[in-house]
């Protein structure tokens, strides 16, 4: 007989397999979306060029494919879902943890090899989930405050979590289905606090042995948790929708500085932070294009004399925020032609910036050849501001924000 009496006296009449299973079902639907979009983000970073982080993941590497350029809002959607849904599910993760607290105090803690495996998977599941939430939230709140690389930690933490999640799902889905069938959801929504009774005693010991009278109904508890998730949603979506909700986007404060007029949209890294000097961006600036028979140097007026193209494209940051602006500049494929480049497999873009981790990016041939892939000189009909990458920046449909390099110095078309 399992002894549940050693822990604190947990007497809420709401705890039970049904309530746990309701939270479990929501997470079973939502978390795979967070997992898959997270893994897609890793692939979108271009691991084939060694520019995803961590760079070398050994035998655990994912099947790579060239990240497409269409639809142009693809990364905006996948990464918005990853961060947005990840945040929205936090109250539900916490509610689910609350609902299973009695299991922490089961004694003896390990009774059989099968149960030891279950407990181990729980450590991976709970530890992994909390680790991913904490590293993810800290990354969008602060600029790289870790002593370790965020991407590396979040990536490996994800695999620990995925292992726990898959094992737990396999072990628990039958119990979840049975528990959900044990009472009708509609009935719960019609039951007031006064009529709220504990669930029948269960073999897992979730149901309290001597419950107190209900201080909140089940529907009240569900509304509370759902309300928490809705509040998180309201506090997050503004970074993507813009408009009046922008001021409420307390949970995604990165891209916190904004420019003026046509340049009034999120700036992740200012020119000052990137230590871009006035001498680097004055009239002596030249774009170096390599990969043809001879390297070519183009001044800004020469770029302006080339055929110009305008496209409405998003910047979508790994941190979840995104914004759509109208960009004007020279098509990257026209630049390749102008430099006499005939065949290429990739293009390496390098910034004037010397210090940062994001001062270069490699683009695939498909990304370069897209009709909307630009070396942008203007945004929303005005000159690019220094903070948005003057004299020129990369802007490519569906490219992760991080690879839309600002303050471009050179583009090298490569055969590999
Ligand atoms: N040179 C350089 N380019 C850069 C960055 C950077 O740090 N240095 N940050 C990137 C990131 S992470 C994003 S999301 C976008 C943000 O562009 P914005 O500041 O114009 O909104 O620029 C990208 N280009
Ligand atoms: Mo970003």
pLDDT digit string, tens, across residues 156-197: 999 999 999 999 999 999 999 999 999 999 999 999 999 999
Please give the model's pTM, rounded to 2 decimal places.
Answer: 0.95
Question: Tokens at residue 248, please?
Answer: 């409420």
Mean pLDDT lowest for which of 167-181, 251-265, 326-340?
251-265
Pair 240, 226: CB distance under 8 Å: no
pLDDT digit string, tens, across residues 140-154: 877 656 677 899 999
Closest CA to 225 of 10, 38, 84, 14: 14
What is the H or E stretch that residue 130 is in? Answer: helix 113-141
Closest CA to 182 of 226, 147, 218, 228: 218
Determine the residue of 80, 402, 403, 407 to mutate for testing ligand 1's pocket, defined as the one with the most ligand atoms within 8 A of the Cβ atom.
402
Confidence grade of residue 1 (pLDDT, cut at 50, 70, 90): very low
pLDDT digit string, tens, across residues 339-351: 999 999 999 999 9
Quick one: what percent of the chain has pLDDT higher than 70? 95
In the structure, ligand 2 is a single-atom ion and the residues with CB under 5 Å from it are 317, 401-402
Question: Tokens at residue 172, please?
Answer: 């628990």
Beta carbon of 405 within 6 Å of any ligand 1 atom: yes
Closest CA to 401 of 210, 197, 236, 265: 265
Query: In angstroms, what is the C-alpha Rg of the chain?
Result: 26
Instruction: Output the pLDDT for position 202.
Output: 95
| Rounded Cα–Cα distance for residues 205 and 66 (Å) | 49
Report CA 34 to chain centroid distance, whole Å.
8
Pair 384, 374: CB distance under 8 Å: no
More confidently predicted of 104 and 380? 380
Beta carbon of 393 within 6 Å of any ligand 1 atom: no
Q: What is the DSSP letter of 120?
A: H
User: How many other C-beta atoms lie within 10 A of the C-beta of residue 412?
Assistant: 19
Taking CA atoms, 335 is separated from 252, 288, 304, 367, 399, in Å, by 36, 10, 12, 13, 19
Torsion of CA 404, 409, 414, 416, to 10 degrees: -50
Fold of 257-414: Sulfite Oxidase; Chain A, domain 2 (3.90.420)
Cα of 404 from ligand 1 centre, angstroms:
6
Question: Tokens at residue 270, please?
Answer: 């200012």
Look over the chain and give the mean of its residue pLDDT values, rounded to a whole number: 93
3-class SS of residue 378 = strand
Instruction: Output the pLDDT for position 181.
Output: 98
In the chain, ranges of CATH 3.90.420.10 domains: 257-414
Instruction: Output the pLDDT for position 5.
Output: 54
Confidence grade of residue 257 (pLDDT, cut at 50, 70, 90): confident
Q: What is the DSSP letter of 400?
A: B
More confidently predicted of 336 and 4? 336
Dmax over Cα atoms in the chain, in whole Å?
84
3-class SS of residue 116 = helix
Pair 13, 198: CB distance under 8 Å: yes
Question: Tokens at residue 161, please?
Answer: 């979590």
Beta carbon of 88 within 6 Å of any ligand 1 atom: no
Cα of 168 from ligand 1 centre, angstroms:
39
**Statement: residue 254 has pLDDT above 70:** no
Cα of 407 from ligand 1 centre, angstroms:
9
More confidently predicted of 62 and 175? 175
Q: Which ligand ends up closest to the CA of 322?
A: 1
More confidently predicted of 307 and 251? 307
Q: What is the DSSP letter of 288?
A: E
Beta carbon of 266 within 6 Å of any ligand 1 atom: yes
Pair 363, 278: CB distance under 8 Å: no
CB < 8 Å & 24+ apart, contacts of 295-302 = 295/339, 296/338, 296/339, 296/340, 298/335, 298/338, 300/377, 300/391, 300/392
Q: Are strands 322-331 and 374-379 parallel, antiparallel or unpaired?
A: antiparallel
More confidently predicted of 6 and 153? 153
Place of tokens 């929708």: 241
| Rounded Cα–Cα distance for residues 392 and 260 (Å) | 18
| Rounded Cα–Cα distance for residues 231 and 96 (Å) | 18
| Rounded Cα–Cα distance for residues 306 and 292 (Å) | 18
3-class SS of residue 316 = strand
Mean pLDDT in residue range 33-57: 95
Confidence grade of residue 233 (pLDDT, cut at 50, 70, 90): very high
Mean pLDDT in residue range 289-302: 97
**Statement: residue 64 has pLDDT above 80:** yes
| Rounded Cα–Cα distance for residues 191 and 212 (Å) | 17
User: How many other C-beta atoms lie within 10 A of the C-beta of residue 42?
Assistant: 20
């Amino acid at each position: 007989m399992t002894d549940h009496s050693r822990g604190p006296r947990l007497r809420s009449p709401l705890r039970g397999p049904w309530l746990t299973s309701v939270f479990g079902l929501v997470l079973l639907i939502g978390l795979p979306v967070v997992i898959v979009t997270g893994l897609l983000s890793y692939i979108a970073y271009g691991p084939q060029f060694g520019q995803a982080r961590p760079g070398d993941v050994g035998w655990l590497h994912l099947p790579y494919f060239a990240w497409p350029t269409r639809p142009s809002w693809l990364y905006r959607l996948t990464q918005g879902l990853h961060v947005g849904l990840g945040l929205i599910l936090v109250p539900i993760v916490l509610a689910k943890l609350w609902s299973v607290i009695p299991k922490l105090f089961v004694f003896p803690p390990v009774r059989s090899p099968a149960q030891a495996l279950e407990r181990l998977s729980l450590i991976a599941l709970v530890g992994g989930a909390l680790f991913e939430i904490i590293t993810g939230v800290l990354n969008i709140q602060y600029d790289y405050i870790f002593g370790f690389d965020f991407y590396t930690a979040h990536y490996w933490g994800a695999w620990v979590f995925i292992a726990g999640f898959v094992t737990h799902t396999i072990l628990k889905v039958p119990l979840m289905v049975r528990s959900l069938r044990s009472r009708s959801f509609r009935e719960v929504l019609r039951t007031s606090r006064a009529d709220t009774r504990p669930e029948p005693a269960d073999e897992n010991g979730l149901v309290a042995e001597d419950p107190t009278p209900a201080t909140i109904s089940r529907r009240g508890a569900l509304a509370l948790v759902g309300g928490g998730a809705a509040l998180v949603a309201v506090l997050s979506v503004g970074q993507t929708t813009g408009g009046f909700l922008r001021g409420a986007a307390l949970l995604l404060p990165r891209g916190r500085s904004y420019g003026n007029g046509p340049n009034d949209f999120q700036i992740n890294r200012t020119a000052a932070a990137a230590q871009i000097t006035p001498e680097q961006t004055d009239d002596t600036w030249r774009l170096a294009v390599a990969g043809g028979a001879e390297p070519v140097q183009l001044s800004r007026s020469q770029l302006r004399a080339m055929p110009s193209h305008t496209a409405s494209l998003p910047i979508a940051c790994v941190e979840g925020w995104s914004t759509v602006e109208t960009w004007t500049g020279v098509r990257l494929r026209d630049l390749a032609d102008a430099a006499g480049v005939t065949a290429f497999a990739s293009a390496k873009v390098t910034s004037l910036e010397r210090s940062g981790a994001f001062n270069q990016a490699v683009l695939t041939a498909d990304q370069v050849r897209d009709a909307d892939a630009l070396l942008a000189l203007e945004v929303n009909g005005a000159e690019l501001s220094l903070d948005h990458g003057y004299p020129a920046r990369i802007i490519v449909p569906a490219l992760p924000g991080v690879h839309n390099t600002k303050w471009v110095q050179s583009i090298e078309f490569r055969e590999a």
